[in-house]
Amino acid sequence: MAGDYVMITKDVTVTATVRVTIDETKFTPEVFAEFDKMIEPFGDDLDEHMKRLGWLCLMRGMESHHFFEGLGTGKGFGIKFEEMPGDEIEIAEVRP
């Protein structure tokens, strides 16, 4: 029949790279302690904070001028994002 279609489902894995820049002098012991209480206990691990920021950029559409829960404005922390070319896309069929 016209208009009939068959639904298919596939898992799509996307590997993306985003360059995250921060002003590390803004990440003080007080900022780390407050973030740990409010959001997640990353301690003073800047790499974990940068991974979270990159995730927020890609998955939540956050931009440098936005407010970041547990930190404040991106501008206040020198947060900048740059999506890098060369993302890989892999499509894998879902198995019943």
**pLDDT digits over 19-45, tens only?**
999 999 999 999 999 999 999 899 999
Range with the lowest mean pLDDT among 3-7, 20-24, 53-57? 3-7
Residue 82: phi and psi, rounded to 5, are -140, 115
Q: How much is the pLDDT for 10?
A: 84
Q: Where are the domains of the chain?
A: 10-93
Q: How much is the pLDDT for 19?
A: 93
How does residue 17 score in pLDDT terms, banded at 50, 70 and 90?
A: confident
Spatial separation of the C-alpha atoms in residues 70 and 13, rounded to whole Å: 29
Closest CA to 44 of 66, 59, 26, 67: 26
Maximum average pLDDT range among 2-6, 66-70, 86-90 = 66-70
Q: Is 78 exposed, middle or buried (0-12, 13-18, 19+ CB in 10 A)?
A: middle
Q: For residue 18, what are the contacts with CB-CB under 8 A and spacing of at least 6?
A: 54, 57, 58, 81, 82, 83, 84
